Chains A and B, each alone.
Chain A
Amino acid sequence: MKFGWLALLLAAPAFASPDLSSEALLRDHLWREVRQAPAGRRPKVGLVLSAGSLRGVAHVGVIQALENAGFPIDAVAGTSMGAVVGAMYASGLPLKKIFEWTSTINVGSGNDLSSARLISLLLFDKLLSSEKTEIMLRKGLGGIRFDQTLKPFACVAMDVYTGEAIIFRDGDVAKAVRASMNLPGIFRPLEYRHRFLVDGGVVNYIPVDAAKLLGAEWTLASVTETDYTTARPENVLESLLQVIDIRGSYLSQEQRRHADFLIEPPVGDIGMFEDHRINEAIEKGVITASARLEAAKESLILASVPKLADGWGVKTK
């Protein structure tokens, strides 16, 4: 006997062919209406990508799952690592390229956070320049400006002298993204447009308001917060990041309430220097977003019904 009958039987696909239940079919039908609705007949959808240092690469996985499902995304806003991923996506880079770019992130050497530079930071008590970060960003983004991105994009930094959250919506994208991820306490504030800018995660961890400034009427936020209850910082940099993360976490409580839908990949235990876990973070983004997709669709459909319905009775009026 080559294979037992039961072996073949047990190896049955668990998926029933298309779900033809009333609820599933109605959802599918309305999802099609949402996707095909012309501008103005459904809410403008904003994708919000939180700060989160290396954990933020999970946003790439979230975007991949949303793209697979044909989720409409009309505007993108991000802070810190969310700004990096968001800028690449909004500028029209294929996901494969974004995936490749994020996979090559190397926190420990040849960049602004190399060991040699960190030692000089401690020895000479002088903040570092984040210039290499900008060079790295330009490799991915080129010299694209905000008005040239495929989807409207905004990112957030903080003016360290005034404490204001600065939302960038015009000018050079790479410079603004560099400002958005310019770690305070490590890097010199970036002087740009008469402001002295540091990482926006300090004041606007989940930039729902930035997406709304771009016209978003329904927002989906991908949130990659740290689980600071389990993290045990072992050096100056990790301690500083931990404090920023805790503060960001407190601030984000309010911002979470403003988002219409949340996707939270379980990446809280991934540390700043664990670049060997980048693929794991991206995979967790895909898995979490895939598991939440039907709920996200339902939420957007329900938000869209009033606008869609305006066209359903009009024809005979």
Chain B
Amino acid sequence: MRIASLALLVLLASPARAWRLWGEASDKKIRPVQELHDARKPLEVLAALTPDFISTLRGTDLRQAYVLKGDSLDFLGRADEALGVYQLGVKLFPKNVDLLTRQGDLLHRTGLDEQARAFYARALVFEPRHFGAQLGLAEIDRRSGFLDRSASHYEIALETLDGRADVWRSYAETLLAQRDWTTAELAIARAIKIEPKNPEGHVLTAFARRAQGDGAGALTALDAALALGVGVGARRAKALWLVEADRHAEAVSEADAILKAFPGDGAALWVRARAHLARGRYADAAADLSALAPDSRHDFTARAARLLRARYPAR
């Protein structure tokens, strides 16, 4: 009796997460399926979770079955089926934060942010620091323009996901949008420390330095990203930023390198046209701008090129 009372006391005193983890760890029927899932075998997971098998499950095992089935479907790109599984799971287990968060994630990824927000909010009622719900809300708030709220959600998510460089980078982007340069650079540094070979951290550093007016530092950071093999995007940025620094010859050199690989690249043609204009070579500029703005194109780049060409017709 005393032992039972003590166990009950311990359980009641446990934080919500401990209770959840204790409750969810499966040592029953679901364990072999969980192992297939952990081994990243979604097809095998789906094959194992037959209706007959699921009908034999109860409690934690059943909850976990819905999670595993939904995750596997989602991983295989069958998002609509995954959503159906999560919806059913949430109906059966309305307080399960994993199911609530996953349903929120799927809705968020399809752009249904307000519906997703409701599921994340429900998850946080039961587990206020749940990393998935916090991360989902961070993204939604950032997209919606609530940058301060977004930063707060990222900070809570990072308590759990502090080893995830991509989350540190996303957090840094929110901070950059808030113009909190110092904290942004600290967050980027964390991302680079976790993934030193990933060029995206250096690209972000470049944007942070440029935003602070450090053009030379920005170009250095872009070079670091290029050295790590980042794609053509960083070279485009470099070409445009060299134009901003009035270093037209170097800008043209970068633009030519891009055009060699991607003839017709909009940013590269724009850079070359700007360099031609700066040198007074209006006919060359008009030629590049004409290539950029055929009558059939109505996107932003083409419209800007047409306006510039009209200002400097070939002379």
Q: Give me the interface of A with B, judged by CB distance under 8 Å.
A: 1-2, 4-15, 17-18, 20-23, 25-27, 29-30, 32-33, 61, 64-65, 68, 70, 283, 286-287, 289-291, 293, 298, 301-302, 305-306, 309-310, 312-313, 315-317
Contact = CB atoms under 8 A, between A and B. Distances in A.
Interface of B: 21, 25, 34, 37-38, 40, 67-68, 71-72, 74-75, 98, 101-102, 105, 108-109, 131-132, 135-136, 139, 142-147, 157, 161, 164, 166-167, 169-170, 173, 177-179, 200, 203-204, 207, 231-234, 236-237, 240-241, 243-244, 265-268, 270, 274, 277-280, 282, 285, 299-301, 303-304, 307-308, 310-312
B161 A26 contact: no
A32 B240 CA distance: 11
A287 B149 CA distance: 13
Contacts, number: 157
Contact of B243 (A29, A65, A70): A29
A246 B118 CA distance: 35
Nearest to A70: B179
B311 A22 contact: no
- Which are the 8 A-B pairs with shortest beta-carbon distances? A20-B233, A290-B145, A13-B170, A316-B280, A22-B266, A313-B277, A305-B307, A22-B267
Contacts of A312: 274, 277-278, 308
18 contacts: A7-B98, A10-B74, A11-B105, A11-B135, A11-B136, A15-B139, A15-B143, A17-B166, A17-B200, A22-B266, A22-B301, A23-B301, A25-B237, A25-B267, A26-B270, A26-B304, A30-B304, A305-B308
A137 B190 CA distance: 48
Given A15-B142, A302-B304, 13 more contacts: A6-B71, A7-B132, A10-B71, A15-B143, A22-B301, A68-B177, A290-B144, A302-B300, A312-B308, A313-B277, A313-B312, A316-B278, A317-B280
A20 B132 CA distance: 27
Given A22-B266, A26-B266, A298-B300, A316 B279 contact: yes
B280 to A, nearest CB: 4
A4 B161 contact: no
A18 B203 contact: yes
A162 B166 CA distance: 63
B278 A313 contact: yes
Nearest to B160: A3
B311 A306 contact: yes
A18 B282 CA distance: 33
Contact of A4 (B71, B231, B268): B71
Contact of A8 (B164, B232, B312): B164
B312 A309 contact: yes
B34 A1 contact: yes
A10 B67 CA distance: 12
Contacts of A4: 34, 37-38, 67-68, 71
B38 A23 contact: no
B135 A13 contact: yes
Nearest to B267: A22
Contacts of B38: 1, 4-5
Nearest to B273: A312
Contacts of B268: 22
A220 to B, nearest CB: 15
A311 B215 CA distance: 20
A272 B119 CA distance: 31
B109 A26 contact: no
A27 B164 contact: no
Contact of A6 (B75, B203, B265, B279): B75
Contacts of A22: 236, 265-268, 301
B311 A309 contact: yes
A289 B237 CA distance: 27
Contacts of B279: 316
A290 B143 contact: yes
A286 B267 contact: no
**Most interface-central of A11, A29, A30, A290 (chain B CB within 10 A):** A11
Given A286-B144, A302-B307, A17 B71 contact: no
Contact of A14 (B108, B177, B231, B285): B108
Nearest to A29: B240
B298 to A, nearest CB: 12
Contacts of B311: 305-306, 309-310
A56 to B, nearest CB: 19
B21 A15 contact: no
A77 to B, nearest CB: 23
